[in-house]
Each structure stands twice: as structure tokens, then as C-alpha cells.
Structure 1
């Protein structure tokens, strides 16, 4: 009788343990923010207009502030823009969200296209 109880207990325990599965759905999924193409006209230009124009408007009043009023000037220093926004050095009078920083990074990594 004890052998049967031991067998039933071991079988039940084996069943319970084997029914536990590794649930991938509950794990944090890392989504690549650069999965889709970032648009200069729809995403980057508005970010520049709202965050950079006080100093980078090309009027010459802010020393050492590159003019970011047009695509060609932005594209020419795209890697620098990526570096200073990723590090948090820019914008000086505000801050970018992680989503905005990711958009800039992705746009530059995708070739800083005029799209």
C-alpha cells in the first residue's frame, strides 16, 4: 500500500512539475525602435523646430550654434546631433523624451534621409 501511495505521490508531483512551462508572453519584450523608417519631415523636423530653434535659428545671436533651419545643414551634422541629444547635452533649455532621442538616433543610423 505504501508503494502505491509513493507511486501516486511521485506521479502527481511529476505531473505538476511538468505542467509548469516557461511563459515567454510575460517576459519583457525588447522592441527595436529603429524597426520602422523615421521620417525627417514628419518626426525630425518638428523635433528640431520645437526644441532647437531658440538657439539654432541661423540668426547668429548664439555663438557656436550651428544653423538647423534646413535639411542640408541638419544632415551635414546629423552624427553630432545624435551624439549631443543621446548624451543629454542638447537641448540646453529643455529635454527630449527617450522616444524622441530614439527617433533621432534611428533617423541618423538609417542614413539621415530627407524623407
Structure 2
């Protein structure tokens, strides 16, 4: 009986652990006061999304290579980058944006989706 309790307890502890590193959890990078596409959003898209969301990429049917494409898909982007680890629709696939990067997208939308 004790053996089973130990196994169950161990399983609960392992399932409760997150796979994020300390750096990801403790990301305290401040979000700029005014977020713009060119200065703040585009560098994140270029570093994390463009390999799939460009011509020839796995998600080329949903390109995010221009301001208008990203602006027109902001709700979908915010939904996908904010999904929990393990969700098959979480983006970027096989990775995660930091909390401050996610906040940049959210604030950009709240700030009015300005380009420059």
C-alpha cells in the first residue's frame, strides 16, 4: 500500500511541475510605454514566427510578413501565444514566448495597433 502511495505522490509532483526555466518564469522585462509594430512587435515576429508564417514555411497559408497581416490577425496571434504549454495550437510550435513578449502583443492591441 505504501508503495502505491509513493508512486501516486511522485506522479502528482511530476505532473505539477512546469517545463519552463527560471529565466522564463522570472521575466521582468518592462513593456515599453508606447508599443509599435516596427519597434516592438516586428522583431518578435521575425525571431519567432516568420520561419513558418512566410512563403515556403509550414504556415505560409497564414503569412505574417507585413504590418497589415499581423494587425489583421492580432486576436488569433494573442490567443495562440497565450495558450498553455502542451496545447497543440500553442504558438510558436515547440516553444514559448516570454511573458513580456506576450505583453507586448497585448499592449500593442490596447495602444491601437500603431505601425511606427
Instruction: Check whether TM > 0.5.
Output: yes
Q: CA RMSD in A?
A: 2.1
**In 1, Cα distance between the equivalents of 2:32 and 2:43?**
20
Q: When the two structures are aligned, how many residues end up with a matched partner?
A: 82
**In 1, Cα distance between the equivalents of 2:60 and 2:92?**
14
**In 2, Cα distance between the equivalents of 1:51 and 1:77?**
16
**In 1, Cα distance between the equivalents of 2:50 and 2:81?**
14
Structure 1 residue runs of 4+, over 3 Å off? none
1:75 is matched with: 71
TM-score w.r.t. the length of structure 1 is 0.62
Alignment of 1:54 with 2:55, yes or no, is: no
Give secondary structure in 1 for the equivalent of 2:75: helix
Give the gaps of 5 or more residues in structure 1.
1-32
**In 2, Cα distance between the equivalents of 1:91 and 1:105?**
16
Question: Deviations for 1:66-102, whole angstroms, at most 9, x for unmatched residues?
Answer: 1001111111111111111122511113211111111
